[in-house]
Amino acid sequence: MRVIAGAKKGIDLRCGRGPHFRPTAQVVKGSIFDTLGIALEGAIFLDLFAGSGSVGIEALSRGVSRAVFVEQDHRILKALRTNLERCRFSPPAAEVRMGDAMRYLERVVKTGAYFDVIYADPPYAGGVAQRVVDAVGGARGVICRMLIVEHGSPVFAKEGGTLELAKVRHFGQTTVSYFRHRKEAGGGEGKGNAGALSGDV
């Protein structure tokens, strides 16, 4: 596993260990950034269920100004921090939050904090992916320009709240779904309450 493109291209990344660790495949990660279609320079990126941080690190390498990584497994967090050190990413550009990703997302929704891109790679079982979509789509305001959810196949997702399904990509047993806010919800206009990111969530 390595960084595909950008300033840190080619740097090898450490994989986490644990019964629930499932790294995003390189082909899937490459497709995510090819498909994203959003200029990342200066953007704010949220990596939920971050694992060893491969996707958020890729975003930093490609020019996002800030990435927040949320992971609760101690063993995997060690690999995440090692990878950030290898790439020489540190606060405030790279911020690691230890804890439950859904609880963190609930705080984001409550505070109205804004991210240009929210990426989530939750456990495939248990309906967590749909909970992510429902939480973001149920926010009172627009909290992201794009929500990307990696999940098991077939497609899990019902559109939730203000979100509409923009694209779907399939990779064997993995599917990546892209959601954006409907235009009437104000999706993609401005950066919302970006200031709340500094310490409130």
**CB-based contacts of 88, cutoff 8 Å, min separation 6:** none
What is the residue type of 188? G
Report pLDDT for 2: 92
59 has pLDDT over 60 = yes
pLDDT category at 112 given cuts 50, 70, 90 is: very high
**What's 192's domain CATH number?**
3.40.50.150
Query: How large a percentage of the chain has pLDDT more than 70?
Result: 82
183 has pLDDT over 80 = no
- Whether the pTM exceeds 0.85: the reply is yes
* DSSP state at residue 109: H
Considering the domain boundaries, does residue 4 fall inside one? Answer: no
- 148 token code pair: 């990307």
85 has pLDDT over 50 = yes
The total of structural domains in the chain comes to 1
Alpha-carbon distance values, 180 to 25, 107, 143, 154, 162 (Å): 24, 20, 10, 20, 8
Report pLDDT for 18: 56
Peptide bond into 123 cis (omega under 30): no
Report pLDDT for 127: 87
SS3 144: strand
| pLDDT tens by residue, 3-23 | 999 999 999 999 866 555 567
Per the structure, the complete domain to which residue 56 belongs is given by 26-198
Considering the domain boundaries, does residue 138 fall inside one? Answer: yes
- Least-confidence region, from 8-12, 42-46, 112-116, 157-161: 157-161
Average pLDDT score over residue span 91-109: 97
Considering the domain boundaries, does residue 93 fall inside one? Answer: yes
195 has pLDDT over 50 = no
Q: Are 48 and 122 in contact (CB under 8 A)?
A: yes
Considering the domain boundaries, does residue 18 fall inside one? Answer: no
Considering the domain boundaries, does residue 12 fall inside one? Answer: no
- 92 exposure class (CB count in 10 Å sphere: 0-12, 13-18, 19+): exposed
Average pLDDT score over the chain:
86
d(CA 118, CA 181): 12
Considering the domain boundaries, does residue 114 fall inside one? Answer: yes
Considering the domain boundaries, does residue 5 fall inside one? Answer: no
Considering the domain boundaries, does residue 49 fall inside one? Answer: yes
